[in-house]
Structure 1
Amino acid sequence: MSAEAVGRGDWSDLVRLDRLGPALAAALEDEAWRDSSADLISGGKSNLTFEVTSPAGVVILRRPPSGALLPSAHDMGREARIQRALRGTPVPVATVLLEDRTEELIGAPFYVMEKVEGHVIRSTMPPGYAESPADKVAMADALVDVLVALHEADPGAVGLADYGRPEGFLERQIRRWTGQWEKSRSHDVPAVDELGRRLAAALPASRRSAIVHGDYRLDNCLMHPTDPSRVAAVLDWELSTLGDPMTDLGLLLFYWREPGESEPALTPAATRTPGFPGRAHLAQRYVAATGADLGELAFYEAFAHFKFAVIAQGIAARVAAGVMAGQEFGDLDSEVARIAADGLHRLDQEG
């Protein structure tokens, strides 16, 4: 992960290096891990990500935020399980090195994975990286191709046959995110309520099921350090399950900002700079590889807006509760309303 993404501070209450160090020393068979330090990697707005450094090397630790959590959120066990399952498939993932699903070791469930070298592309491109339009198109294509590989992976063959329930997936998703909205809302936002109602009334029939990432976007992937046509690792598997793969495509298109568009408050948007292809390019590449029907794409894009509006509200609630390790993201009220309004507009465009 890029060094500029690391924030300095005292994270002893969140990482418990006095316990983690010996555990890493035992798991990795190197006593040098007993002498470790931890730095928060900024940008994570749900689970917390730390870079743990010792004379033996560097690893990455993922754990939930502190404090009370919404039901079913921040499941470290699922993240670790799917990354183990996808090792050896065309989907690039980091190797899981240590996992504790209890709270005994550091006070919360967590897992540790290898540090994969690469770039997290956020608001700007790394100097000298993917400077030509051809490189930027290659980056977009690589992102789509890995998503296709994920959706083509056989859940049973990789040990994930019981990872979710594809039947009724969309209905449950609308119900789940509506429930999350009710638990985290701080005031009425009519656009969010209306978007949820309209989506629930217009559920398309899911044509296929697959392993879905649940939050697939450019900055949840590590791009190869020198080759922009390669994804080095897919990160942040918290929302992964078995379900309708079109929800992943809808999210990718929601996050993908086109040249000239404004940058959202919560998600970086390097893709809005000149040279990157538009959303239509990504959608058509996905269709060419999978044969997917884009007839209901507006629903899936609108659902992405609904889901992220609820996620944004959850981030605001966690910041207000002081469980985000001191991270601040500004006043998100207007962002929640804007996202939902844009989702309604997408449905209206289709109609």
Structure 2
Amino acid sequence: MSEQGTTLEGASPVREEDAFDLDAVRRWLAEQGTELGEEVEVQQFGGGASNLTYSLRDGRHDLILRRPPAGQKAKGAHDMTREHRVQEGLAGVFPLVPRMIALCTDESVIGADFYVMERVDGVIPRRDFPPGLDLDEAQVRQLCTNALDVLVELHAVDVDQTPLAAMNKGDGYVERQVSGWSRRFRDARTEDVGDYEEVMGWLEEHRPADVGHCLIHNDFRFDNLVLDRDDPTKVVGVLDWEMATVGDPLMDLGGTLGYWVQADDDDFFLQFRRQPTTAPGMLTRQEVVDYYLERTGRTVTADEWRFYEVFGLFRLGVIAQQIYYRYFHGQTTNEVYAGFGPAARYLEQRCRAIIAAG
């Protein structure tokens, strides 16, 4: 456990607009059987741009609180009950999920649903590896393949043997994703971005049948992984299960590679990087696909993969636009969110370039 009074990596004082009633949370936690001490240090993590994440430490407890942001929310997004249920349901079959403490659906406590879990101690790689974490090329490659092995292991979970079996809606996952994310973009579009109509039309025309149904994370990135402090090539935790569901594994891989910026990408995409995927030793996007296919025994042609690549970037563009929508309409004053508008415009052009190259 980190000592109280120290700043956790990636954390800072709580932004005024994101503050909550600590005493109300303290009383509610006591009712759930967790008694916080008199002095509780609260910090806010700034790495994510969707749900809000806080650290609660009192010397005996090292906890994380997750809650949705203020402002308009896309239908189905920021569902704390669902995010909590997924992690609780995986506890017996996928040991890398954090341990859940309790879920609160009484909005009178802090004005929104939230849940509390134990913090997984370790190193979270963000845009770059933290100072002092010096990995050579072989170690970076080992970390990369170890992380992909975790994704493979997740996809191999027998969902029917978990409480999450009901999340499987059957065939049509790819179709539902294309139509659903297209609707989300149209709902969140602002006047200063493109319309993505060419991209959405191409995805609808070229969508394949589902290749399978398994537990997918839907936001599997290095900055959602916790690495062992003693052996940082080893993954000891997987975080941020907000979008997890039962669906097509190749859609999950495509979503992962939407964030995978490599060393030879253009300047804007390099600036967009949120994880250390340009470090010497990291696999390229094509090497990631090849490794995953080899580990799972699947076969996908380059033409077939193009759909998943475009969808991953399109979905990322929609997420960026949903975040930018809140800034554009004054629902947040966080200036970091201003950059998501240019990102959404760029990702549309990137999708169109990949489509044209085919």
More divergent stretch after superposition (5-14 vs 192-201): 5-14
CA apart distance, 1:315: 0.8
Unaligned 5+ segments in structure 1 are none
C-alpha deviations, 1:163-203, integer Å up to 9, x for none? 14131111111111111111111126446221111001111
More divergent stretch after superposition (325-334 vs 204-213): 325-334
Gap change, CA 1:174 and 1:165, over 3 Å in 2: same
1:128 aligns with 2:136: no
Alignment check: 8 A CA contact 1:14 1:107 kept: no
Aligned residues: 349
Residue number among 110, 135, 142 corresponding to 1:138 in the alignment: 142
CA apart distance, 1:218: 1.1
C-alpha deviations, 1:212-232, integer Å up to 9, x for none? 111111111112222123212
C-alpha deviations, 1:267-292, integer Å up to 9, x for none? 41311132322122222221122112
Alignment check: 8 A CA contact 2:327 2:338 kept: no
C-alpha deviations, 1:308-345, integer Å up to 9, x for none? 11110111112234545735233433321211221222
| Matching residue's letter, 2:311 | F
- In structure 1, distance between residues paired with 2:241 and 2:188: 22
Gap change, CA 1:285 and 1:303, over 3 Å in 2: same
- In structure 1, distance between residues paired with 2:36 and 2:258: 46
1:202 aligns with 2:206: yes
Alignment check: 8 A CA contact 1:313 1:332 kept: yes
5 Å-filtered alignment, 1:1-351, equals 3-9=8-14, 14-32=19-37, 35-90=39-94, 92-187=96-191, 189-190=193-194, 192-261=196-265, 262=267, 263-264=269-270, 267-295=273-301, 296-324=304-332, 326=334, 328-349=336-357, 351=358
Gap change, CA 1:110 and 1:304, over 3 Å in 2: same
Alignment check: 8 A CA contact 1:217 1:251 kept: no
More divergent stretch after superposition (164-173 vs 76-85): 164-173
- In structure 2, distance between residues paired with 1:264 and 1:185: 25
Gap change, CA 1:259 and 1:91, over 3 Å in 2: farther
| Matching residue's letter, 2:99 | T
| Matching residue's letter, 1:273 | A
Q: Secondary structure at the match of 1:61?
A: strand
Give TM-score scaled by structure 2 length.
0.90
- In structure 1, distance between residues paired with 2:264 and 2:120: 32
Q: Secondary structure at the match of 1:328?
A: helix
- In structure 2, distance between residues paired with 1:325 and 1:333: 15
Gap change, CA 1:122 and 1:29, over 3 Å in 2: closer
- In structure 2, distance between residues paired with 1:111 and 1:164: 24
Give TM-score scaled by structure 1 length.
0.92
Gap change, CA 1:10 and 1:331, over 3 Å in 2: closer
CA apart distance, 1:31: 4.7
- In structure 2, distance between residues paired with 1:67 and 1:191: 23
Alignment check: 8 A CA contact 2:122 2:227 kept: yes
Alignment check: 8 A CA contact 2:45 2:54 kept: yes
Give 4+ residue runs of structure 1 displaced > 6 Å after superposition. none
Q: Secondary structure at the match of 2:261?
A: coil
CA RMSD of aligned residues (A): 2.2
| Matching residue's letter, 1:297 | W
What percentage of aligned pairs have identical amino acids?
Answer: 32
More divergent stretch after superposition (303-312 vs 253-262): 253-262
Alignment check: 8 A CA contact 1:137 1:276 kept: yes
| Matching residue's letter, 2:327 | V
- In structure 1, distance between residues paired with 2:127 and 2:86: 28
CA apart distance, 1:151: 0.7
CA apart distance, 1:241: 1.1
